[in-house]
Amino acid sequence: MAARYEDLGHGVYCIDTDLYRAQMAACYLIREGDAVAFVDTGTYHTIPWLMAVLAELGLSADNVRYVIPTHVHLDHAGGAGELMARCPNATMIVHPKGALHMIDPSKLQAGATAVYGAEGFAKDYGKLIPVPAERVIAAADGYAVELNGRCLTFYDTPGHANHHGCIFDASSRYCFTGDTFGICYREFATAKGAWIFAPTTPVAFSPNEWQQSLDKLEALQPSAMLLTHYGQVTDVAGLFPKLRASIEALSNLALTLKNAPEGRVDALKEQIFLTWLEEIAIHGVNLPEGDIRELLRVDATLNAQGLDVWLQRLAKAKT
């Protein structure tokens, strides 16, 4: 299958990583002259497509200067090591709390294999390739690099994950948000615009920190947000309050089940679905409930697991 990608203007391209289905996960290529940066990479299986996009743009692996995973969750950074191995002139820019996992991904691989099984991990994610430490920069908040004179700045944005950063491109005023600006699947867009929700994936959901991260992004006054899930959204001012409301609604939902008996994850998952179904109906989406549940099945499961871990953490903090 040929790589699917979209020109977003300003030398920025959105590339579909085809994880699970089309338009579920993306990564981005930024071009300035003969220099390239990738923000997020998809999985090991994605990398041949990234090479194909480079070739179609008249470039090669030698033109790649930076590989910038927003965080080390595998849909964002699973292919980062393989991409670095293919791009001899590239430097990795990554959050300090994620750098060691890129240099030695054995814990990431063990954890993911425990969740998905060896066969499932290989099918969806392939394998994780270590990145030599001397090619990794652990980026502090505000760390900036130049791509042929084009300034890219890394901002520490915890909330979804404590190893999450967003990248602001001063040239386009695009903000590459990973998961910090939520999820906007294109299937749920209507005349009212994009429908957005917060991904409360395990294991470091922190609603207060997330709201503070949104304060930081809002202050940048970006022209567009480029989401891993999925693509470019331009109604930035309209989506900020909706994402803030989603973070609050999901955390409040979890708190109502903090004393639930066994089966809390399943209860959380169903309550998340009911919340989303109500929001989607109000948003004017005309899809059967079965299709909606299937499109959101993975996210509802991960959100429920993440909220359950958050409740466990809250309970421990009180003891």
pLDDT digits (tens, 9 = 90+) for 5-45: 999 999 999 999 999 899 999 999 999 999 999 999 999 99
More confident residue, 318 or 292: 292
User: In which element (H, E) is residue 254 found?
Assistant: helix 236-256
Spatial distance between the Cα atoms of 232 and 111, rounded to a whole number of angstroms: 31
pLDDT score of 1: 65
Joined together, the tokens standing for residue 218 give 């809002």
Confidence label for 97 from pLDDT (cuts 50, 70 and 90) = very high
The amino acid at residue 20 is Y
User: In which element (H, E) is residue 154 found?
Assistant: strand 150-156
Question: Given the DSSP bridges, would you call strands 91-94 and 136-138 parallel, antiparallel or unpaired?
Answer: parallel
Cβ 154 vs Cβ 141: under 8 Å: yes
For residues 253-276, give the mean pLDDT. 92
Residues 106-159 have pLDDT tens digits of 988 888 887 788 888 888 899 999 999 999 999 999 999 999 999 999 999 999
For residues 273-297, give the mean pLDDT. 96
Spatial distance between the Cα atoms of 230 and 182, rounded to a whole number of angstroms: 9
Instruction: List Cα–Cα distances, 145 to 30, 39, 135, 149, in angstroms.
Output: 13, 13, 14, 9
For residues 204-223, give the mean pLDDT. 97
**Residue matched to tokens 């499932």:** 120
Residues 170-184 have pLDDT tens digits of 999 999 999 999 999
Joined together, the tokens standing for residue 146 give 């130049």
pLDDT score of 319: 66
Backbone angles phi, psi at 146, to 5 degrees: -115, 130
Task: Output DSSP code: residue 139.
Answer: P
* Positive/negative CA dihedral, 283, 287, 289, 291: negative
Contacts of 122 (CB under 8 A, 6+ apart): none
